[in-house]
């Protein structure tokens, strides 16, 4: 699997945030006639968001360390 860029992780985080907002606003399921549509589970979305934030923070920290110059 290729390494994900910071921009890719941030875009995925934005999608997860939107999905969380949708679940909170509209609920986790919706019924139209005989069909029931279920959105993603809020607990799983929040766990995925935490994972993405962790990966973004790790990349951001690594990027900062790459630009750090030690003075002696």
DSSP string for residues in 6-61: HHHHHHHHHHHHHHHHHHHHH-SEEEETTEEEEPPPHHHHHHHHHHHHHHHHHHHH
The answer to whether residue 7 is domain-embedded is no
> What is the residue range of 25's domain?
12-66
Q: Judge whether 43 lies within some domain.
A: yes
pLDDT band at residue 36 under the 50/70/90 scheme? confident
Answer yes or no: is 71 within a domain.
no
Q: What pTM was estimated for this model as a whole? A: 0.75
Residue 3 lies in a domain: no
Count of domains forming the chain: 1
Q: Is residue 65 over pLDDT 80? A: no
* Ramachandran sector of residue 33 (left: φ over 0; alpha: ψ -120 to 50; beta: rest): left
């Amino acid at each position: 699997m290729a390494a994900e860029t910071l921009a890719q992780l941030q875009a995925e985080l934005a999608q997860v945030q939107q999905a969380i907002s949708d679940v909170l606003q509209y609920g986790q399921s919706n019924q139209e006639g005989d069909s029931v549509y279920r959105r993603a589970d809020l607990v799983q979305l929040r766990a995925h968001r935490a994972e993405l934030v962790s990966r973004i923070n790790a990349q951001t920290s690594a990027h900062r360390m790459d630009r750090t110059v030690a003075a002696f």
